Amino acid sequence: MKKRNPMAAKQPMQRNNSRGANRKRSPGRKIVARAGARINRSAMKGRKATREAANRLLSHRANGANGRNGAPSKSVPPLTFQQSRIALEQANQRYVDLFDFAPIGYVTFDRVGRIEEINFEAIRLLDRSRRQLVGLTFAICVAAENVDRFLVHLSKCRSSKGPVLTELRLRRMNGETFPVLLSSTATSALMKDGARLYQTAIIDLTQRKRSEQALREKEAELELIVTQTPFMLTRCSRDLRYRYVSRAYAKMVGQRPEQLAGKSIAEILGPEGMAAIRPYIERVLSGETVSYEMLVPFKEAGAHYLSAAYVPDKNERGEIVGWFASMSDISERKRAEEKIAEAARQQASLYRLAQSWQNAKSLDDVYAAALDAITSALHTDRASILLYDGEQVMRFVAWRGLSAKYRKAVEGHSPWKPGTKNPQPVCISDVNHAELPKSLKAVIRAEEIRGAAFIPLVIEGKLAGKFMMYHRVPHLFTDAELDLAMTIARQLAQAIEHEKDQEALRERERELARELQDQKQLQKISSQLITQQKIETIYTQILEATATLLRSDCCSMQMVLPKTGELLLLAQKGFVPGSANGWQRITRKGGTSCAEAFRRGERVIVPDLQRCRFVKENDLILYRKSGIRSVQSTPLFSRAGELVGMISNHWRNVHEPSTRELRLLDVLARQAADLIESKRADDEVRESEARMRATVEQATAGVARSDVDGRIIFANQKLCEMLGYTESELIGKTIGDVTHPDDSKENIGLFRQLVRDGKPFEMEKRYVRKDGSILWGHVSVSPVRDATGKIQSAVAVAVDVTARKEAEAELQRSNELLERRVRERTRELRKTNAQLESEIQRRKGLEGEILSVSDREQQRLGQELHDGLCQHLTAVAFMTRSIALRLRDHRVIDAADIEKVAELVNTAAVDTRNLSRALHRVDVDAAGLIVALQDLVDREIWRTPCRLEVKPSFQINDDAAAAHLYRIAREAVINANKHAKARQIVVRLERVRKEMMLRVIDDGVGFPKDLNPQQGLGFHIMNYRAQLIAGRLEIDSPQTGGTRVSCYWPVDEPRSRKSPNGHPSAAGMRKCSKSRVFPSDSTLQHLARQGAANA
């Protein structure tokens, strides 16, 4: 049973006292309202505590207790009633003061909402006076739009026992509204006989609303950021439930945010997802900030790659109550990264494949590298490579994870036919649905293969094989896989082709190594053969070498006897004694292998003599007697292709030599033939050198040999006698040491040109003898080359021409006599020309002109004799007289003047010889035409060098035609010398199609375009002569310059004609030489050239 408050009986009195007390207050206090029973729960507690404290004070004092816990008070007298009343009033006053001056507005209204009491804060909020408010209905202070809400609030207050809270807006006197929270608590009125009043706290929400508005704006902004960004946010509690989720997270899991709030994380993620993130949850709940990127499986949303960061969520006491999670779905990025990684992995596989192929040493290494690339790049654990063999059957060459039974069953199967062009990959996604034979399908199933792909290998545009990849489950092959597979196939095909080439190259290298070894052995054998001098020893060593190279039991060597046409046995090795006597001489008609090779002129190989058809019975008996079962015979040919001998090898068993052995035998046979021929040639050369040395020593001219520096390394006896030195004294001297200083410079220059260009030279120079005297010599020097064509020395032939020089002095004394005879000859020529001129005048037409030309030519020759040679001799005479006067008067003579006189005399002699030759009538026939033309171009009267070129196709049989051609050529050469100003003149004889042609060409100035050469007398003479031989004459000037005179006549001429003077020709054809040869020194020059060749 509830106890009654001891102060309850006195409440009316207290109420009345309170009113009295209020009435006694100063007029200035307008607040007379008292505090209600309870303003809110805390105010009610405070009032109740105050009331209980007052009651305890009264009761304790009455009972004499004043200490804590009811302990007796020491000497405290009991209170009187008046004291108790005063104390209670004071406490009540203190409570009223607290009510009035509370920072929260308080108002008390009755059940209809009429205001009974109000404090200062409420008055301030409502902006009205107490007088206006007390007794006024509170609904008047409520904003019009919230009146209904207040009435609902008032209704709840009447029906509720607890506090009633309502948010609404109040209105001030100026019409301004503001938000408040009304918290009303029912209480019994002390002044209305227990009527129910409602103490209401008016809490101003203006600031809170502003803060909430700002917070809502921030939250909206944050929500916008959270919802509009791909980042996902969640807030989770320690019991693994969602407290908050962002829209992005909710969208990812396929639900709305409000659906996820409060749900268990395990319910959304499932067991696998929770197992994946549980280690990170444990770490964040322990206070650690964690992050991760991983694939998180969700129960219904599937797996997502998440990049997450977990931060602990702490309360105000620092306790961890959960965690915040910031997540980003990186599935797309991961897929892209996986694609990139896959592409990189594929590229790495291809790179490793290429590297492996580069380092491969065999096809097996290539296959192994290809299988590694296929299994790693195409994500399969089984693969195979098949190639066509020689029978065009696909066979396994490499595999991974395939049984022998499967390989045997499917070997030879191919989706393409051999020779298919541009084969395409063939894919089987599921073997169960493939159109394959049942037996083949059963074998494939037994191998646990459900998916397979056939990738063609194409080499040089042809199908060469395939590689296959297998899957244990059905597999849909993508275009990317097939592209990668085709890339691997192309590289594999290239690698196979390359490795086959490399294998062939290695095989070739091995073969070359074997050949090199054999060549070294041959070189060793050759070295041994070269060091031998005796021919019999060479034969024996050749047989030993052939037996070693061909590993034969017996061998023999034979030589061809040209006179008898037989093969003579030179040497043999390994035969049974006496068994080879029957083969000492073998004819072409013999029945042996060497006779057969002799007849054919090529190698003969008999692997088994018992089955040979050409071996005769007698020879077969000899073979059996020697124990020979197989044989080969190889002919030996010289460099000229002449059969000089035979080498034969014999085996006691059935045997056939290999191609390599036969190739080595050919080399040895070549060396054997060369060595035999070389030895014989060396003997001949030594004999020739001995004869040549004897010839040189006995020659009438001096012969010397010098190195490229001009130092003498050989001199014959004649040269030593000419210069007065012994051979030992002369060897080691240079050319300049024995040459006169005035001639040394020219001689050294010509010698250097010979060493540089290899051009021989001739000169006349003065030698200085040992005793200091001078010797005139005519020297011809020729280069000597080694086997490579390089000049290694020079050979000089010197002829003593001192006597000739003395004869030239004698010639000087006859100059006057010669001059007189020339003048007489000139007068006779003039008389003859006058007679010819009168005769020419009687002729008509062109013949008269030709004779007139002859007259003028003779006149020209006379004038040249007079103006040239005569003046030359006059000068010689003048110089001679001048020298004689100085010698008589001063007893002084200048050697240089004598040399000049000698030079002028030589020149006069040459001019006289040339003039004499020009004045002499040349009778030319067909046989002597070339000789006459050679003589014409070699004359020294020409200012321009001339040469003759005769083609092998040229021929002439008509003597009259030859005479006319000579004169045409002579006229053309004379005109070219006089007018052309050329550097050279070429006289050419050749055949042009069905005509013979004489052509005189010069590289001079030519003739102007406005000049017609056909108007000249010379042209008419030459044209007339050309018409006499049924030919034609052409004169032109090419664009390159110069003049070209051409005479053409038909080939089919009479073969027997006489020359114009009526005498048959006695001249013969001889070969033209372009180099000058001194007749007196021809023998010595021949010796010099022969000596140079032998050197």
The pair of three-digit structure tokens given for residue 146, joined into one six-digit string: 């919230």
List the beta bridge partners of residue 606. 631
- Residue 1073's pLDDT is 33
Check whether 650 has a pLDDT greater than 90: yes
Residue 616 main-chain phi, psi, to 5 deg: -80, 165
Check whether 39 has a pLDDT greater than 50: no
DSSP 8-state code for residue 146: G
CA distances from 160 to 153, 555, 833, 997 (A): 10, 142, 180, 153
The pair of three-digit structure tokens given for residue 1042, joined into one six-digit string: 């110069």
Range(s) within the chain of domains with CATH label 3.30.450.40: 340-505, 532-684
> What type of residue sits at position 920?
H
- 775-784: per-residue pLDDT in tens? 998 899 999 8
Residues 689-701: what's their mean pLDDT?
70
The confidence band for 1090, taking pLDDT boundaries of 50, 70 and 90, is very low
Check whether 727 has a pLDDT greater than 70: yes
CATH superfamily of 532-684: GAF domain (3.30.450.40)
Residues 287-303: what's their mean pLDDT?
90
- 473-520: per-residue pLDDT in tens? 988 888 888 888 888 888 888 888 877 887 788 788 887 787 777 777
The pair of three-digit structure tokens given for residue 227, joined into one six-digit string: 């919802």
Cβ neighbourhood burial of 81 (10 Å; 0-12, 13-18, 19+):
exposed
- Residue 413's pLDDT is 84
Q: What angle do CA 777, 780, 784 make, to 5 degrees?
A: 140
Sign of the CA dihedral running 1040, 1046, 1048, 1054: negative
Residue 201's H or E segment, with its range, is strand 196-204
List the beta bridge partners of residue 279. none
- Residue 1058's pLDDT is 40
Q: What is the CA radius of gyration of the chain?
A: 71
The pair of three-digit structure tokens given for residue 943, joined into one six-digit string: 């200012």
CA 414 to chain centre: 38
The confidence band for 196, taking pLDDT boundaries of 50, 70 and 90, is confident
Residues near 798 by beta carbon (within 8 Å), at least 6 away in sequence:
701, 702, 703, 704, 719, 722, 767, 777, 778, 779
- Residue 12's pLDDT is 38
Angle of helix 479-531 relative to helix 331-359, nearest 10 degrees, comes to 20
Q: Residue 995 in contact with residue 1023, Cβ under 8 Å?
A: no
Question: Considering only CA atoms, which of 728, 1063, 1015 is closest in space to residue 849?
Answer: 1015
Least trusted range by pLDDT, from 11-25, 158-172, 295-309, 363-377 = 11-25
CATH number of 340-505: 3.30.450.40
Question: Considering only CA atoms, which of 83, 79, 81, 86 is closest in space to residue 64?
Answer: 79
Q: What does DSSP say about strands 630-637 and 995-1002: parallel, antiparallel, or unpaired?
A: unpaired
The pair of three-digit structure tokens given for residue 400, joined into one six-digit string: 């991974």
- Residue 213's pLDDT is 84
Least trusted range by pLDDT, from 143-152, 338-347, 952-961 = 338-347
Give the separation between CA 781 and CA 708, rounded to whole angstroms. Answer: 12
Largest CA distance in the chain: 210
Residues near 10 by beta carbon (within 8 Å), at least 6 away in sequence:
none
| Fold assignment, 923-1064 | Heat Shock Protein 90 (3.30.565)
- Residue 855's pLDDT is 67
Q: Name the pTM for this structure.
A: 0.32
CA contacts within 13 A on the Cβ side of 351: 6
Residue linked to tokens 């006691």: 652
- 199-239: per-residue pLDDT in tens? 899 998 888 888 888 888 887 777 776 666 667 889 999 99
- Residue 362's pLDDT is 78
Q: What angle do CA 482, 486, 489 make, to 5 degrees?
A: 135
Give the separation between CA 50 and CA 34, rounded to whole angstroms. Answer: 15
Give the separation between CA 942 and CA 914, rounded to whole angstroms. Answer: 10
Please provide the size of the chain in residues: 1095
Give the separation between CA 1020 and CA 492, rounded to whole angstroms. Answer: 87
Quickly list DSSP for 506-566.
Answer: HHHHHHHHHHHHHHHHHHHHHHHHHH---HHHHHHHHHHHHHHHHT-SEEEEEEEETTTTE
Exposure string for 896-923, b = 16+ CB within 10 A, e = fewer: eeeeebbebbbebbebbeebeebeeeeb
Give the separation between CA 463 and CA 469, rounded to whole angstroms. Answer: 18
Residue linked to tokens 């944050």: 222
> Would you call 915 helix, strand, or coil by DSSP?
helix
Q: Residue 125 in contact with residue 99, Cβ under 8 Å?
A: no
Other CB atoms within 10 A of residue 571 CB: 18
Residue 696's H or E segment, with its range, is helix 659-698
- 1029-1087: per-residue pLDDT in tens? 999 999 988 888 899 999 999 986 444 344 333 433 333 333 333 333 333 344 334 43
Q: What does DSSP say about strands 985-992 and 946-950: parallel, antiparallel, or unpaired?
A: parallel
Range(s) within the chain of domains with CATH label 3.30.565.10: 923-1064
> What type of residue sits at position 47?
R
Range(s) within the chain of domains with CATH label 3.30.450.20: 8-204, 210-329
Q: Residue 245 in contact with residue 233, Cβ under 8 Å?
A: yes
- Residue 927's pLDDT is 87
| Fold assignment, 8-204 | Beta-Lactamase (3.30.450)
* Greater pLDDT, 184 or 684: 184
Q: What percent of the chain shows pLDDT beyond 90?
A: 18
Least trusted range by pLDDT, from 398-402, 412-416, 505-509 = 505-509
Q: Residue 402 in contact with residue 447, Cβ under 8 Å?
A: yes
Instruction: Collect contacts of 803-806 with beta carbons under 8 A, ≥24 apart.
Output: 804/776, 805/776, 805/902
Q: How high does pLDDT run on average in the chain?
A: 79
Question: Considering only CA atoms, which of 793, 794, 769, 782 is closest in space to residue 719?
Answer: 769
Quickly list DSSP for 934-956.
Answer: HHHHT-TT-SS-EEEEE-TT---
The pair of three-digit structure tokens given for residue 97, joined into one six-digit string: 């003061």
> Would you call 810 helix, strand, or coil by DSSP?
helix
Least trusted range by pLDDT, from 246-250, 719-723, 787-791, 855-859 = 855-859
End-to-end CA distance of the chain: 162
Backbone conformation region of residue 1064, classed left if phi is above 0, alpha if psi is from -120 to 50, else beta: beta
* Greater pLDDT, 797 or 61: 797
Question: Considering only CA atoms, which of 998, 969, 984 is closest in space to residue 1042?
Answer: 984
- 347-357: per-residue pLDDT in tens? 777 666 776 66
Give the separation between CA 531 and CA 529, rounded to whole angstroms. Answer: 6
Least trusted range by pLDDT, from 87-91, 570-574, 736-740, 743-747 = 87-91
Q: Domain 210-329: which CATH class?
A: alpha beta
Other CB atoms within 10 A of residue 550 CB: 22
Q: Residue 561 in contact with residue 643, Cβ under 8 Å?
A: no
Sign of the CA dihedral running 891, 894, 900, 903: positive
The pair of three-digit structure tokens given for residue 162, joined into one six-digit string: 């607890």
- 999-1031: per-residue pLDDT in tens? 999 988 887 776 666 666 677 788 888 998 999
Question: Considering only CA atoms, which of 68, 86, 112, 114 is closest in space to residue 17?
Answer: 86
